Structure 1
C-alpha cells in the first residue's frame, strides 16, 4: 500500500474530473506540516495508537514533501490545504509560522493556520488572519479540548467576523474523545452562528447530527474526508436513509481526502463519492465548485 502509486492512478483521476467537465479538483483536507511532526503522526498510526480506533492504518503516500506535492499536482488538484494542529499549549504559533512560510513557497496551497485554547490565542489568530490565512484547522479529538472553552470564544468571534473557514475534526471517529460529538459544536454555533465551520469526515460517526447542524446553520459545511470509502464503511457506515439530505446539501459538501495519511488510494475516495449515485452535478459541486466559490479560486 505504501509503494509509489502507478502512473495510471494520476491518469484515472484526471479522467474522473475531466469527464465531469472540471478544471481539476479542490481538496480542503490534506496534511502538510513540519517533517518531524508528520513523521511522529505516521509513527502514531504505525503503532496503532488509541485515537486510530485500534485499526491497522498503512500510510499509502509515505513520501517526502516534494514528492507529495508533485503527486497532488499530477492528480490535478488545483488547490489544497496544510492541515496541521497542536496537541498541547505553545505549539500553535510555531506551526502557524511554518505554515505561513509553506504557503509562500507553495502557491497552490491555501494558507492554513491552527489554534488551541490557551492565553494569547486571540492575538496569534488575529496575526494569522492579517497575514493572509485562508483556512484554519481545529482538532478537538487530538487536542482533547472543549471547543466551547472561554479562551477560544474571542478567536471564534474573530474568525466569524473575518469569514475565514475552519476545518474542524469534532466527530467521534475513529475513536471518541472527551469533547467530541455534536453537542459542543452546537453550543459554539449558537454563540457564533456565522462561523464558517467545515466539519471534517462528515462528522463521522455522528453523520446525521452534523447534517442537522448544516441544515440549521447556513455557514456550516462538511468535508468528505474518508467518508463513504470501504475503510470507513466497515467502521462507521453512512446511513442510506440520509442520502436525500446529503443530496439536498450538495452546495455545502466539500472534497477532503486526508492525503497523504490514508490507508487506500486517493482515487478510491473519488470512486466512493461517485458510487453514492447522486449525479454529476453533485459531484462537480463537491469535487471543485463549492470550494472554488468558498475560497474565491
Structure 2
C-alpha cells in the first residue's frame, strides 16, 4: 500500500503481516492525536486549507469519529499510544490537560498526555499534571511559535527532567519553518537540562543530522519516526542515505510515531517505510515496540 492510497478493509491484515514478519507482540506509537472534538475539527480544517505551517496539500486519511479511530489503532495491534494535545496561544494548555486526563482515564491504552505554553502559572499546572499521573508531554514549538528557551519554561524543563517524564517536541523546521524551530533553541535547553527526556518529533526533519547530533551527545534524547521515510516526506525532505548508519546505531532511542489520524496516507505505510530502510528486524522490533515499552510500560 503506497502513500496516498485510501485505507481499506484489508489494512489491519497488512499491519498484522508486518508485525508477524518482525515478531512484534504489538506496536507502541508515541505520536498520535486525540483532542477535544471541536479542536480536532479546527486542526483538520487547517490541513484542508493547506495553511502556512502545512506547506502542501494534506488530505486527512482517518477523518472518523473518536470511537472509530480508537478501534482502528486497536485493530492494528497498537498497545499504547498518546493523545498529543497542544495549545497555539496562552490560556489553552491547562484546559487541554484536563480533557486529556479524562480521556486517559476512560481509555486505558492511551498514555496520560499533557502539554504547556510559556505563560504565567505554567510551572504550577505542569507540576499538577505530573502529580496527577501525566506520563508524556507534548510541546509544539512550530504551532505555538514560542522560544523553548523562554524563561517561563526553564523551570518546566527542569521539572520534567527531574520527574523523568518524556516530552515529545516538534522542534524541527518541517513541514514549514517556525520562528523558533531548528536544533539551536533545543540545544540551549539541553545544555541547561542535560537529563531532560526529550523526544524529537518527526526525527527533527529536515534537520535530521543535527538532531541526531543532539541524541549522540545527550543519552536521554530520543527521536520519533513520525512521517519520516514515507513517500510523502521523502519527496520534500528526504532522509539522507549517508545518515542511515548513525540511525542504526541510535536504534535503542528511536521510537515509532505516526501522527495518526492526521496523515495523508494509510497507517501501514509508515510501518513499511521503516521496514524498507533495511536496518533489520531487531532494529524494527526495538523501534516499533521495545523502546517505547521500556520507556512507558516498564518493560525490561
Could you tell me which residue of structure 1 aligns to residue 216 of structure 2?
Answer: 215
The answer to whether the 8 A contact 1:225-1:256 is kept is yes
Could you tell me which residue of structure 1 aligns to residue 285 of structure 2?
Answer: 284
Could you tell me which residue of structure 1 aligns to residue 115 of structure 2?
Answer: 114
What value does the CA root-mean-square deviation take over the aligned residues?
Answer: 0.9
Q: What SS does structure 1 have at the residue aligned with 2:10?
A: helix
1:57 aligns with 2:58: yes
Q: What SS does structure 2 have at the residue aligned with 1:29?
A: coil
Q: 1:177-188 counterparts in 2 under 5 A?
A: 177-188=178-189
What is the TM-score of this pair, normalised by structure 1?
0.98
Q: 1:202-281 counterparts in 2 under 5 A?
A: 202-281=203-282
1:6 aligns with 2:20: no
Could you tell me which residue of structure 2 aligns to residue 143 of structure 1?
Answer: 144
Could you tell me which residue of structure 1 aligns to residue 25 of structure 2?
Answer: 23
Q: Could you give the per-residue CA deviations for residues 138-164 of structure 1, whole angstroms, max 9, x where no partner exists? A: 000000000000000011100000000
Q: What SS does structure 2 have at the residue aligned with 1:174?
A: coil
Q: What SS does structure 1 have at the residue aligned with 2:19?
A: helix
The answer to whether the 8 A contact 1:166-1:197 is kept is yes
Shift of 1:15: 1.5
Could you tell me which residue of structure 2 aligns to residue 97 of structure 1?
Answer: 98
- From 31, 35, 38, the equivalent of 1:36 is 38
What is the TM-score of this pair, normalised by structure 2?
0.97
Q: Return 5+ residue gaps in structure 1 as ranges.
A: none
Shift of 1:97: 0.1
Q: What SS does structure 1 have at the residue aligned with 2:11?
A: helix
1:152 aligns with 2:153: yes
Q: 1-side partners of 2:126 and 2:291: how far apart?
A: 25
Shift of 1:20: 1.5
Q: Could you give the per-residue CA deviations for residues 42-78 of structure 1, whole angstroms, max 9, x where no partner exists? A: 000000100001x000000000100000000000000
Shift of 1:2: 8.8
The answer to whether the 8 A contact 1:84-1:113 is kept is yes
The answer to whether the 8 A contact 1:213-1:220 is kept is yes
Q: 1-side partners of 2:175 and 2:246: how far apart?
A: 23
Higher relative contact order (CA 8 A, sep 6+): 2
Runs of 4+ in 1 over 4 A off after TM superposition: none
Q: 1:123-138 counterparts in 2 under 5 A?
A: 123-138=124-139
Q: 1-side partners of 2:172 and 2:116: how far apart?
A: 18
Q: 2-side partners of 1:78 and 1:13: how far apart?
A: 13
Shift of 1:14: 1.2
Could you tell me which residue of structure 2 aligns to residue 193 of structure 1?
Answer: 194
Size of the aligned set, in residue pairs, is: 295
Q: 2-side partners of 1:153 and 1:110: how far apart?
A: 24
Shift of 1:190: 0.2
Q: Could you give the per-residue CA deviations for residues 72-114 of structure 1, whole angstroms, max 9, x where no partner exists? A: 0000000000001000001000000000000000000000000
- From 47, 50, 53, the equivalent of 1:48 is 50
Q: 2-side partners of 1:159 and 1:251: how far apart?
A: 21
Shift of 1:126: 0.3
